[in-house]
Structure 1
Amino acid sequence: MHKAIKNKSRLLCGLKNSKADLSTAKFILYYGPTVADSDIYDLHDSKSLLEDENLNLSKNTVLYLHGYLEDPDVESIHVIAEAYLERTDTNLIVLDWGELADGNYMFDAVVNAKQLAPELAKVLLEMFDHGLDIEKFHIVGHSLGGQMAGIIGREIFKRTKGVRKIKRISALDPAFPLFYPLGGHLNANDAEFVDVIHTDAWLYGAPTSTGTADFWPNSGGTLQPGCPKRNYKMLSDNDLSSHRRSWWFWAESVSDRFPIKFDAVPCKSWSDFKQNKTMETCAPIVMGHHCPTSIHGNFYLQTNGQTPFARGKEGTVYVEPKELLGNTHSNICEAPQTIVK
């Protein structure tokens, strides 16, 4: 399921160029029961997408944006799609921008993301004009896709002079390099509600609070429980393990097969969380798909080191990492068990 990434060092050094043709981006509508059951549409053929019999406009619709060096064949999209296909209340559309997310990160992928996002905003506005309900629309993005989600939200607000605003953006460890502290990064104003899950802060992921609600599982940084000791070989499976954990958490939260949720508590810092110094809150807070959109601030929790990752209320009281299920820091990166059967 996982597609090997080749010549990673060459990509980062700029020795390989990616195509900048925005028309290579495609919409993929997953309707199940498996990920093989999907329909593909050109970016500018939204009319046909809206007329697809497998798209139910009365349901919620999620647009998922993958990250750097990814395409529909990678594990993350399969895991995310399988989780959503368990639900009966949500349409899932994935943006395949694999060719544009390729190449050198600085000179190709980031530049392409910043060019593609305004075009995608334009297409989405056309879709909102022709039946897609913006009130039921949710963008979820991982890494560079998380930053692109923010640009899309900004563009929609700007193009409509503040009349329209995306209801919710969920960013899964949004990309750090070239976005912080330079500005232009995902922020709380990009949608009515922006929730962020941090799992690799200061390395591949955003280092600071950047949304309406920011979740910091296991402190929000490397190493996440169950991840192998980093070998610092750029973009290797070992090196990306904590960064990828954000979409594993998200997929588990989407699937209602697991009764235990990602309970979290508001704290001023990870240090306060460890000392059980939580701030007062009225309602139970959960990280992920079911996160209440009325909250704001920083929230902390602990997770297991393998699926099921969620620990429920137990995850809101600090324990030593060695006590967490599956918290073995081996030198071999083994993917967690699949979220769905």
Structure 2
Amino acid sequence: MKVFILLFSVAVYTVFAVPFENEKQYGRFIEIPGGDGQMHLVDLEAEPDVEFLNEIARNPANNQYFLYTRRNPRVSQTLTINNANSIRNSNFNANRPTIVIVHGWLSNRNTNPNPTVRNAYLDKSDVNVIVMDWRRLAMRDYVTAANGVPAVGRGLGQFLQFLNQVTGAPFTSMHLIGFSLGAHLVGNAGRQLGGRAARVTGLDPAGPLWTLSTNRLRASDGVYVEAIHTDGGTGGLGIGSRVADADFFPNGGRSQPGCATSLCNHNRAWELFASTVTRNHLEGRQCTSMTQVTYNTCRGSTLRMGNDDLNKRGSGIYRLDTARRYPF
């Protein structure tokens, strides 16, 4: 009888110890790229700087917001939360769509995906592009930065609420786009807005410390939430499982053609997205399982990945194949 109980306990443990489909378990140490293009060795079990995180949470004004429009496509105007004149005296137009772009770890407003996605939008249409710079937190160690993302995301949401109050710009004309850690940041911003933003897009949402986090990007963060997964393999830099309304897995979502490194795979998410804003040419095929994604046997309906359509809708997981280089 004791043997049976022991075997049953082992069996139950085995079942519940198996990770969720395509979820990843990371070791203590992992190399993660920063906006400088270099890989940095990160201790995922390091203690975050709690005092700094408390200060960040108390003061959302730490974040900076830079506006670009067709009247100032390369030289930004600074928008400041709780300073209505900074908005009224800018080129911001509440009658046009507002695109918010958020960078990842060890980055700032001048690092990609910011300039590439900004230029793709402004070259195509007359919109407000707001680039968020959260370098004060993003330049800290990875564990501290990751722990501070929810508070900084809420700060972005508060800024957009202020923008709405000052100008009347509706949340239904806002598209929040974030890369890596920035993907979870815009998710938390959308949550602060009660899921009212028209679109929230996660570009290869960061995986380390986020795989099972309740603070990660999720489908309820906007009216339509989309994720593009390009480095979701075991130990990859991105989450390899579904997190949004529609999740796209280009080339299977683990490695990308023309890439020899995880960094290249990870960055391919914003490169693909920028190209779709310009061309709207990449179309996914719906899959019933991640097995179909992996073996490229998806036969469901089609949905275009990315693009700039504020009224886009869709759900499910999608596989598509791309070329090796821009425009893919």
* Paired amino acid for 1:264: G
Of the two, which has the highest radius of gyration? 2
The equivalent of 2:145 in structure 1 is 109
After superposition, the C-alpha distances for 1:204-238 in whole angstroms (9 at most, x for unaligned) are 111210000000100011x211112x3xxxxxxxx
Q: Give the structure with the larger helix fraction.
A: 2
Change (3 A) 1:112 1:252: same
Q: CA deviation at 1:8?
A: 3.0
Q: Give the structure with the larger strand fraction.
A: 2
Q: CA deviation at 1:173?
A: 0.6
2:224 is aligned with 1:183:
no
The equivalent of 1:195 in structure 2 is 226
After superposition, the C-alpha distances for 1:308-327 in whole angstroms (9 at most, x for unaligned) are 11xxxxxxxxxxxxxxxxxx
After superposition, the C-alpha distances for 1:116-146 in whole angstroms (9 at most, x for unaligned) are 2222222222222232211111111111111
The equivalent of 1:50 in structure 2 is 87
Aligned to 1:220, what secondary structure does the other structure show? coil
Correspondence list, 1:214-293, <5 A: 214-221=247-254, 223-228=255-260, 230=261, 239-255=262-278, 258=279, 261-269=281-289, 271-272=291-292, 274=295, 276-279=297-300, 281=301, 284-290=302-308, 293=312
Aligned to 1:100, what secondary structure does the other structure show? helix
Q: Larger deviation: 168-177 or 85-94?
A: 85-94
Give the whole-Å Cα distance in 2 for the aligned partners of 1:198 and 1:64: 17
Change (3 A) 1:44 1:206: farther
Give the conservation status (yes or no) of the 8 Å contact 2:197–2:223: yes
Give the whole-Å Cα distance in 2 for the aligned partners of 1:278 and 1:148: 33
Structure 2: tracts of 5 or more residues without a match: 1-33
Change (3 A) 1:227 1:6: closer
Give the conservation status (yes or no) of the 8 Å contact 1:154–1:190: yes
Give the conservation status (yes or no) of the 8 Å contact 1:12–1:103: no
* Paired amino acid for 1:215: F
Aligned to 1:83, what secondary structure does the other structure show? helix
TM-score normalized by structure 2?
Answer: 0.77
TM-score normalized by structure 1?
Answer: 0.75
The equivalent of 2:242 in structure 1 is 209
Q: CA deviation at 1:306?
A: 0.4
Give the whole-Å Cα distance in 2 for the aligned partners of 1:16 and 1:184: 16
* Paired amino acid for 1:300: R
Change (3 A) 1:139 1:272: same
Give the conservation status (yes or no) of the 8 Å contact 2:42–2:142: no
Q: CA deviation at 1:69?
A: 0.9
Change (3 A) 1:3 1:209: closer
Give the whole-Å Cα distance in 1 for the aligned partners of 2:299 and 2:87: 46
Give the conservation status (yes or no) of the 8 Å contact 1:35–1:78: no
* Paired amino acid for 1:169: V
The equivalent of 2:178 in structure 1 is 141
Identity score, percent: 26
After superposition, the C-alpha distances for 1:65-90 in whole angstroms (9 at most, x for unaligned) are 11111102224222112112202232
* Paired amino acid for 2:102: L
Change (3 A) 1:252 1:105: same
Q: CA RMSD in A?
A: 2.8
Give the whole-Å Cα distance in 2 for the aligned partners of 1:112 and 1:52: 31
Q: CA deviation at 1:6?
A: 6.8
Correspondence list, 1:21-100, <5 A: 21=56, 22-32=60-70, 36-45=74-83, 47-100=84-137
